[in-house]
């Protein structure tokens, strides 16, 4: 019996969803085509009807709207805002926590992918650059909204690909620096002993919150 016209697009989405989850959990280099297809409940032979190779698959994942933050993290951020907590503090405390570094599959894809995509081809690097640019832009928007900057968009989903408008350039610079600090802190914390990891996370978190005026200079926060 021949497949319906909708079969191939649906199969492609299954592969993309499975690959996105695998890339976020294990990184780019450590994921094989066989693992992706097994996670999608498909055989390896069907892969090449949709993608040329693993790099082509990664690019497609990004173009499909690869989510950087998992649903549990986004839910916690929304809950914090609903309870009246400021977004930056909630984000820093969630991102720079032991829970995050010990559960990469539930966290942000950037620390896992950033150490590996650099060794990949130009297409994968370009796709990853797109992810970074989208992430810094959305973070800049959240910072500007928290500061009540007039004239920017009223609401944008932090995990969407909608273009931000009327964003002051200084917020783009601040978000780039903040993201680099947080991603770097998570990468380092996953590579060291618990005591060193706690210090890296706490110092980075304090530095970010101090720069945003959330805590005064010299005040410390308990390690997450």
In this prediction, residue 1 carries a pLDDT of 45
Q: Give the pTM.
A: 0.76
How far is residue 74's CA from residue 15's CA, in Å, rounded to a whole number?
A: 24
The number of residues making up the chain comes to 224
pLDDT at 217: 55
Q: Is the Cβ–Cβ distance between 143 and 213 less than 8 Å?
A: no
Give residue 70's pLDDT: 67
At residue 223 the predicted structure's pLDDT band, cuts being 50, 70 and 90, is very low
Condensed to tens digits (0 to 9), the pLDDT of residues 20-57 reads: 888 888 888 889 999 999 999 999 989 999 999 999 99
Q: Is the predicted pLDDT of residue 218 greater than 60, yes or no? A: no
- Share above pLDDT 70 across residues of the chain, in percent, rounded to a whole number: 83
Q: State the pLDDT at residue 56.
A: 93
pLDDT per residue as tens digits for the range 74-107:
777 778 777 766 788 888 888 999 988 988 777 7
Tokens 């009327």 correspond to what residue? 166
């Amino acid at each position: 019996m021949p497949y319906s016209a909708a079969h191939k697009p649906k199969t492609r989405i299954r592969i993309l969803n499975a690959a996105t989850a695998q890339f976020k959990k294990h990184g780019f280099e450590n994921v094989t085509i066989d693992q992706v297809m097994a996670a999608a409940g498909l055989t390896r032979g069907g892969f090449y009807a949709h993608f040329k190779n693993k790099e082509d698959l990664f690019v497609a994942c990004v173009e499909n709207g690869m989510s950087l933050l998992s649903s549990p993290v986004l839910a916690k951020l929304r809950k914090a805002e609903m309870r009246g907590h400021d977004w930056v503090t909630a984000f820093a405390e969630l991102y720079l926590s032991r829970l995050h570094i010990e559960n990469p599959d539930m966290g942000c894809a950037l620390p896992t992918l950033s150490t590996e995509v650099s060794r990949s081809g130009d297409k994968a690097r370009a796709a990853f650059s797109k992810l970074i640019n989208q992430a810094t832009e959305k973070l800049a928007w959240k910072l500007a909204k928290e500061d009540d900057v007039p004239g920017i968009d009223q609401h944008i989903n932090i995990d969407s690909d909608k273009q931000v408008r009327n964003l002051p350039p200084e917020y783009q610079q601040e978000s780039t620096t903040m993201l680099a600090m947080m991603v770097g802190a998570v990468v380092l914390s996953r590579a060291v002993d618990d005591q060193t990891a706690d210090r890296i996370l706490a110092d980075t978190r304090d530095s970010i919150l101090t720069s945003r005026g959330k805590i005064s200079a010299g005040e410390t926060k308990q390690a997450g």
